[in-house]
């Protein structure tokens, strides 16, 4: 699957400050007792499988193929399909304020750094060649993610956030909406351990999740979103020319 991501180049001071705040949030939350008890129970675990992840991409590709005749796109995704795709992809992605960093992807020889952070993860003499400032140490990883669509139109992401050796439970509530043709996973509220999760920490994750839901395509314009218990339906149009010539590779 070819995923196309575009990121604006941030200033290095802002990146450093943001990463420092993120690290401080997780360290501080570790000082609290039993932070898991502060997160609500949203129900049984959503099953994760490669088959469900494959169905997500198959649904998007099928909708894109039909756009060759109609130019309109419509598909419905379930809790299990989005959770499975995110769980499989999250193994290789570290989220940073500048965008995702991909590491350990099968067939890849090195990490793909987000723009503006080149060199931060490279070994140097001052750290003994161990890459002490690597994004894998200071970026945010999402482990054991669970995605749920609720009957009141919300989307809930649960899991664990890890920065280096620090690991805390995370819960984020979103209100998906179509904004200027984009799938906007609007941040409503979130917690990491016993502390509130700032929106700016979630934003890179939300962008990555939105890209995943659209199977990495930047030629889909979303005009309408409908959420039911356990599923989300997206409707829109294809604006990238002949869809059959632009399908992403599985």
Is residue 140 domain-resident?
Answer: yes
Query: What's residue 130's pLDDT?
Result: 38
Give pTM, 2 decimals: 0.73
pLDDT band at 204 (very low <50, low <70, confident <90, very high): confident
Residue 157 lies in a domain: yes
In a domain, 127, yes or no: no
Model confidence pLDDT, tens digit, residues 85-143: 999 988 887 776 566 677 766 655 555 543 333 333 333 333 443 333 344 445 778 89
Greatest extent of the chain over all pairs of C-alpha atoms, in Å:
59
**Residue whose C-alpha is closest to residue 197's, from 149, 146, 158, 245:** 158
Cα separation, 131 vs 79, in Å, equals: 37
Residue 169 lies in a domain: yes
- Is residue 152 in some structural domain? yes
The rounded distance, in Å, linking the Cα atoms of 182 and 204 is 15
Provide the pLDDT for residue 117.
32
Is the pLDDT assigned to residue 147 strictly greater than 50? yes
Domain coverage including residue 236: 35-114+134-245
Residue pair 82/213 in contact by the 8 Å Cβ criterion: yes
Domain membership of residue 204 (yes or no) is yes
Domains contained in the chain, number: 1
Q: Tell me if 128 is assigned to some domain.
A: no
């Amino acid at each position: 699957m070819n995923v196309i991501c575009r990121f604006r180049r941030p200033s290095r001071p802002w990146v450093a400050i943001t990463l420092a705040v993120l690290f401080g949030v997780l360290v501080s939350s570790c000082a609290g007792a039993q932070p898991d008890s502060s997160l609500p129970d949203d129900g049984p675990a959503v099953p994760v499988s490669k088959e469900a992840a494959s169905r997500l991409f198959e649904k998007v590709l099928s909708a894109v193929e039909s756009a060759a005749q109609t130019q309109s796109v419509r598909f419905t995704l379930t809790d299990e399909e989005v959770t499975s795709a995110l769980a499989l992809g999250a193994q290789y992605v570290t989220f940073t304020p500048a965008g995702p960093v991909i590491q350990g992807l099968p067939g890849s020889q090195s990490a793909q750094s987000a723009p503006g952070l080149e060199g931060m993860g490279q070994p140097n003499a001052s750290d003994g060649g161990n890459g002490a400032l690597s994004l894998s140490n200071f970026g945010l990883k999402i482990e054991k993610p669970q995605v749920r669509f609720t009957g009141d139109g919300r989307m809930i992401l649960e899991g664990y956030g890890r920065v280096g050796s620090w690991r805390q439970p995370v819960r984020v509530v979103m209100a998906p909406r179509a904004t200027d043709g984009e799938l906007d996973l609007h941040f409503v509220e979130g917690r990491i351990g016993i502390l509130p999760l700032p929106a700016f920490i979630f934003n890179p994750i939300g962008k990555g999740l939105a890209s995943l839901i659209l199977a990495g395509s930047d030629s889909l314009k979303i005009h309408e979103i409908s959420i039911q218990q356990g599923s989300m339906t997206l409707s829109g149009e294809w604006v990238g020319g002949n869809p059959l010539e632009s399908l992403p590779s599985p």
